């Protein structure tokens, strides 16, 4: 079992930045694909970005390309999401997810483990 705990959410003005962290425990995530999803009120959970076990550049949703950056530190069993140039439409609960796979998946149902989420609110 993998336990995931997100942190770093908060309230920020449009144009600002936040850095989310996802700390894993229970197992090392070095062989897991990691993803970030978000869910706004009344909307379905949507894929934001994913990164394979080997790292690399990540695979981003078009809505966040050029603004968000995912990274992972397998030694710390942690994944990060740097969010810059935030917009009000980025407001959502952000979830970290994990799957024992070498391939980045963009569908929520493909992930086996989830964190509890962290709220990100961007004011205009």
How confident is the model over 74-117, as pLDDT tens digits? 899 999 999 999 999 999 999 999 999 888 999 999 999 999 99
Q: Which pLDDT value is given to residue 75? A: 92
Q: Are 6 and 94 in contact (CB under 8 A)?
A: yes
Q: Is the pLDDT of residue 124 over 90?
A: yes
Interior angle at CA 38, CA 33 and CA 42, nearest 5:
145
The candidate with the shortest Cα–Cα distance to 19, out of 78, 98, 99, is: 78
Instruction: Kindly give the pairing relationship between strand 68-73 and strand 78-83.
Output: antiparallel
Q: Which pLDDT value is given to residue 20? A: 98
| Token pair belonging to 54 | 């080997």
pLDDT tens sequence across 38-66: 999 999 999 999 999 887 778 999 999 99
Element (H, E) at 7: strand 3-7
The backbone torsions φ and ψ at residue 108, rounded to the nearest 5 degrees and listed phi first, read: -60, -35
Q: Report which of residues 30 and 94 the model is more confident about.
A: 94
Confidence of residue 15 (pLDDT cuts 50, 70, 90): very high
């Amino acid at each position: 079992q993998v336990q995931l705990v997100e942190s770093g959410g908060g309230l920020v003005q449009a144009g600002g930045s936040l850095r989310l962290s996802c700390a894993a425990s229970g197992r090392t995530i070095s062989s897991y694909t990691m993803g970030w999803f978000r869910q706004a009120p009344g909307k379905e959970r949507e894929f934001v970005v994913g990164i394979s076990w080997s790292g690399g550049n990540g695979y981003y949703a078009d809505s966040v390309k050029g603004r968000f950056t995912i990274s992972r530190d397998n030694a710390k069993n942690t994944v990060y999401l740097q969010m810059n140039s935030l917009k009000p439409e980025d407001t959502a609960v952000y979830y970290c997810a994990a799957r024992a796979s070498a391939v980045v998946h963009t569908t929520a149902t493909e992930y086996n483990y989830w964190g509890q989420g962290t709220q990100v609110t961007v004011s205009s």
